[in-house]
Amino acid sequence: MTNLTTLCYIEKDGAYLMLHRTAKENDINKEKWIGIGGHFEEDESPVDCLLREAKEETGLTLRSWHFHGVVTFISDRWQTEYMFLYTADEFEGELTDCDEGELEWIPKEKILELNLWEGDRLFLKELMEGRDFGSLKLRYVGDELVEIDGVKREKII
């Protein structure tokens, strides 16, 4: 498994398709709400991974998507991860069950009320305001976000 991943927020009628990660034991995302996506397989491009993961986790075939940036996650508990972040606004097919948790369409105005990673809130705000960010580096100690783009958290707030 690589440390390269994709994450996508599929959009429909002012809502994002969110995955409530409840099914896997020993899941770093346990009980968190995230978009859909996952790790690259051998020889995949970011778009190959995006399309495969969307189909595997949701049953949907994406027809239109937009790349927003790369998020670098650094942690004292897992290997550094480089995540390619997308939104998608056109798809076909029927939503299926996901073996990683429950999929649910959540209105955008309710997203920030969910149990999210703190860093996810940052890029979700950018996405919901229609902005690309290029690159974002987030450093965690345990579940706590301690640094954003090299700046210690207490200096930002």
Two structure tokens written together for 58: 């949701």
Residue 4 buriedness (CB in 10 A; 0-12 / 13-18 / 19+): middle
- pLDDT grade, residue 153 (50/70/90)? low
Closest CA to 8 of 42, 51, 44, 41: 51
* pLDDT for res 28: 81
Averaged pLDDT, 57-76: 96
Tens-place pLDDT, residues 8-33 = 999 999 999 999 998 777 778 888 99
Averaged pLDDT, 71-83: 94
Predicted confidence (pLDDT) at residue 100 exceeds the cutoff of 50: yes
pTM over 0.85: yes
Domains of the chain (ranges, CATH numbers) = 4-156 (3.90.79.10)
Average pLDDT, the chain: 92
* pLDDT for res 44: 96
* pLDDT for res 132: 86
16: left (phi over 0), alpha (psi -120 to 50) or beta: beta
Report the share of the chain in percent with pLDDT over 70. 96
Predicted confidence (pLDDT) at residue 157 exceeds the cutoff of 50: no
* pLDDT for res 15: 97
The C-alpha atoms of residue 89 and residue 111 are separated, in whole angstroms, by 17
